Chain A
Amino acid sequence: MAKERTKKNSMDESDYLDFEGKVAEIDKQMNELRRLSSAKGIDYSSEIRRLQREQTAELKKCYSNLTAWQTVQVARHQKRPLLGDYLELMVKDFRELHGDKCFGDDRAIITGLGNIGRERALIVGQSKGRNTKEKIACNFGCSKPEGYRKAISKMKLAAKFNIPVVTLIDTPGAYPGVGAEERGQAQAIAYNLTEMSHLPVPIVCIVIGEGGSGGALGIGVGDRLSMLEFSYYSVISPEGCAAILWSDGSQAETAAESLKLTSSDLCKLGLIDEVIPEPLGGAHRNIHDTVYNVEQYITKSLRELKRMKADDLIEKRYQKLRKIGSNFANGMNSRKKTGKNRIKSTNKPGRSKSNTRVTAKI
């Protein structure tokens, strides 16, 4: 358990991101003062407190205005809390359930039963690994078909016993490999999307780090979809997008900006439900507080969702999914009518009824 972990994460030199130069400088000064005060017995505490305040102000300034590309870097930070941290700090009596009962046990997606607060839940999470050995074991967080199949089979188990589902999303994307294609990566993801859309128990999905495209969506369909403040969620990696649309992979920074992949942009677009706040300076500076915020969000959401009857839950989820992007698809006729995003079929005016009922603002 978390005996040895201090509340605040210590920062090594390589942990500072390139836009945190001033923060790093202040840390260096503080460490120097601490060293001096213990070596020479001089009291620098007021000076250290002053630097602390200065640093707090600097972090606030930095993190209230992160660019999309900086956000991606925070989301990929080497000390960012990973699935393992959540399982350790948030889930009581976790019992991992292995295997898709068909091909294998993908270590990039971990599934199991446990308690979060006072709620029992099936936890489905993507695992990226901290050190090289772990990273290789879970394929750097890139799930394979057997991972998605394991996830949906455990979700069906949860549905059978009326256990809500919590998914923690953190993947650069589904694995693009020969074996993954041979075993139907696309089919596995598609099946999860359709099955999760009408699973008769609450599903709460949270992007905790990287929300990489279809690989993230494969466990990301539910009644709630929310993001940690400095996580990202995107249709394609900024690098991939830059390589295709800019024909230049080094334009990732520009691509990240264009893709609107931050939690605040996606919230504005109505594509996610909530932004879960991160501690000052990002999740990697305080794992405990991050996990606590996520836990609070989960228990709150589950309490709300558990009150609903299964049929209502499914219908509401369907309506939510059905509306995604509807407000961005407009017919010629409807565009004239401002404020009403209605769709009309032009060539079949007599039978346009069914075509008009489909859209509404998110």
Chain B
Amino acid sequence: MAKKTKKTWDGYSLKPKREMPEGLWLKCPGCEHLIYKSSVRENLNVCPECNHHFRINAETRIKYFTDQDSFQEFLVDLKTSDPLKFKYKGTTYKKRLKESEKKTGATEAMRIGKTFVKGRPVILAVMDSTFFMGSMGAVVGEKFCVAVDKAIEESLPFVVFCCSGGARMHEGVVSLGQMAKTSAALAKFNDTGGLYIPVLTDPTTGGVTASFAMLGDVIISEPEALVGFAGPRTIRETIKIELPEGFQTAEFLLEHGFIDMIVHRKDLRSEIARLIDYCKK
């Protein structure tokens, strides 16, 4: 695997710079090779040269992870009512929501539903980092809890693909409260003996990491995903020292004992199916 030769570790940016740029070719941020876009796309959006995992939206994730056409979505039209009537910098949250909907085709930062993975029924939640950086507000929290309710009701395993910039500032303490709400739902799910598998993908930070992302029975991560509580920039500004190489990557978390396994995108289906089989009662 080709390594970047950076002098100091800068952390990964939260900005979605690693989505596919326009054109036929792209320069992989992992190995800096010029590669055919189509060859990346055919390879589950993973660089064929260095295994760099590109960010993907919820739509693509569902396509990759679930058995064909098996995803039955719940609460498709759930939308936030903008509890704070949030205004900033000459614009409003409401306006930005509309723009984001138009640009991404997503209506919120999470989709939930019932689906099958290699023939095994699961309740699935997928976050979408293209919509408001995958941030968690009232809708994400509510959808998450409804998915947990479903998983309890049907005694199914619950798989969540996390990718998030954290709590959604535009909803203030309402978003902060979603951390408590989702964690409480998981306590209940745990008490009923349900299997919960969060899959951490690039990037998983802030309030999502400090709630449901870290509460899995088995916690999986994609390779090299940025996973942390505080953003790398905040930390650098606070402590004013260089961050150690590889800080806040999935590999860093594995080394420090906070995740169970790192799984390549192409193996997620089979690995999760295996875990579901192992944890059957």
Residue numbers of A with Cβ under 8 A of B are 174, 176-178, 180-187, 189-191, 193-195, 197-198, 213-214, 217-218, 220-221, 233-236, 240-241, 244-247, 254-255, 258-261, 266, 269, 271, 317-318, 321-322, 324-333, 343, 345-348, 354-355, 357-359
Partner of A359, one of B86, B142, B167, B238: B142
Q: 10 extra interchain contacts, Cβ-Cβ under 8 A, other than A183-B256, A189-B210, A235-B172?
A: A178-B243, A190-B211, A190-B213, A195-B187, A213-B176, A254-B88, A325-B177, A325-B178, A329-B141, A333-B77
Chain B positions 152-176 with a Cβ under 8 Å from a chain A Cβ:
153, 167-176
A347 contacts B179, C-beta separation under 8 Å: no
Task: Report whether B180 and A197 are in contact in the complex, using a CB–CB cutoff of 8 Å.
Answer: yes
Judge whether B184 is part of the interface by a CB distance below 8 angstroms. Answer: yes
Q: In the complex, what distance in Å separates the CA atom of A199 from the CA atom of B156?
A: 25
A258 to B172, CA, bound (A): 9
Are the CB atoms of A187 and B214 closer together than 8 Å?
A: yes
A106 to chain B, nearest CB (A): 15
Q: Are A260 and B212 in contact (CB under 8 A)?
A: no
Bound-complex Cα distance A191 to B241 (A): 29
Q: How far is the CA of A49 from the CA of B167 in the complex (A)?
A: 51
**Given the known A-B contacts A186-B210, A266-B173, are A347 and B72 also in contact in the complex, defined by CB atoms under 8 Å?**
yes
Q: Return the 7 tightest CB-CB contacts between A and B, nearest first.
A: A176-B230, A325-B138, A193-B183, A197-B184, A324-B177, A186-B229, A186-B209
* Interface range, B side: 35 or more
Q: Decide yes or no whether B5 CB sits under 8 A from chain A.
A: no
| A343:B169 contact, CB within 8 angstroms | no
Binds A, one of B24-32, B58-66, B143-151: B143-151
Cβ of A259: which chain B residues have Cβ within 8 Å of it? Answer: 84, 169, 172
The complex places the Cα of A174 from the Cα of B211 at a distance, in Å, of 14
Q: List 29 A-B contacts (CB under 8 A).
A: A174-B229, A181-B230, A182-B256, A186-B209, A186-B213, A190-B183, A191-B215, A193-B211, A194-B184, A194-B215, A213-B207, A214-B229, A233-B173, A235-B207, A245-B170, A246-B89, A259-B84, A266-B173, A324-B180, A325-B175, A331-B77, A331-B79, A332-B77, A346-B76, A346-B77, A348-B72, A354-B150, A355-B74, A359-B142
Instruction: Mark out the residues of chain B between 72 and 100 whose CB falls within 8 Å of any chain A CB in the assembled complex.
Output: 72-84, 86-89
**When the two chains form their complex, are residues B229 and A180 in contact, meaning their CB atoms are under 8 A apart?**
yes
Least distance between A183 CB and chain B CB atoms (Å): 7
Contact with A along B176-202 (1 / 0, CB 8 A): 111111011111101100000000000
> Is B79 in contact with A260, judged by CB distance below 8 angstroms?
no
B210: chain A residues within 8 A (beta carbon): 174, 185-187, 189-190, 193, 214, 218
Q: A176-B229, A190-B211 are in contact. Are A328 and B171 (CB under 8 A)?
A: yes
Q: CA separation between A246 and B89, bound complex, in Å? A: 6
Known: A177-B239, A346-B76. A271 touches B174 (CB 8 A): yes
Q: Are A181 and B173 in contact (CB under 8 A)?
A: no
Task: Please tell me if the beta carbons of B74 and A194 are within 8 angstroms of each other in the complex.
Answer: no
B275 CB–A CB distance under 8 Å: no
Residues of the B chain whose Cβ atoms lie less than 8 Å from the Cβ of A359: 142
A221-B74 CB under 8 A given contacts A187-B214, A245-B169, A266-B173: no
Q: Does B228 interact with chain A (Cβ within 8 Å)?
A: yes
- Complex Cα distance A177/B83, Å? 32
Query: How far is it, in angstroms, between the C-alpha of A266 and the C-alpha of B172 when the chains are bound?
Result: 10
Taking A347-B76, A354-B150 as contacts, is the C-beta distance between A260 and B172 under 8 angstroms? yes
Contact, CB under 8 Å: A330 / B173 = no
The distance in angstroms between the C-alpha atoms of A317 and B171, with both chains bound, is 22
Q: Does B122 contact A (CB under 8 A)?
A: no
Residues of B within 8 A of A233 (CB): 173, 176
List which B217-233 residues lie within 8 A (CB) of chain A. 228-231
- For B82, B170, B179, B212, the residue with the greatest tally of chain A CB atoms inside 10 Å of its CB is B179
Contact residue among B82, B186, B228 (Cβ-Cβ distance under 8 Å from A181): B228
**Chain A residues with CB under 8 A of B239:** 176-178
**A186 CA / B204 CA spacing, docked (Å):** 11
Q: Across the interface, name the chain A residue whose C-beta is closest to B137.
A: A325
A269 touching B83 by the CB < 8 A rule?
Answer: yes
Contacts of A218 in B (CB 8 A): 210
Whether A244 pairs with B169 at a CB distance below 8 angstroms is yes
Residues of A within 8 A of B153 (CB): 354
Q: CA of A201 to CA of B202 in the docked complex: distance in angstroms? A: 38
When C-beta atoms are compared, the residue in chain A nearest to B165 turns out to be A244
The smallest C-beta distance from A217 to any residue of chain B, in angstroms, reads 6
A325–B229 contact, CB under 8 A? no
Q: Please tell me if B247 contacts chain A, counting CB pairs below 8 Å.
A: yes
On whether the beta carbons of B81 and A329 are closer than 8 Å, the reply is yes
Indicate whether B206 reaches chain A with its CB closer than 8 angstroms: yes
Instruction: List residues 121-149 of chain B with CB under 8 A from any CB of chain A.
Output: 137-139, 141-143, 145-146, 149
Across-interface contacts of B83 in A (CB, < 8 A): 269, 325, 328
Residues of A within 8 A of B213 (CB): 186, 190
Q: How far is the CB of B246 from chain A (nearest CB, A)?
A: 12
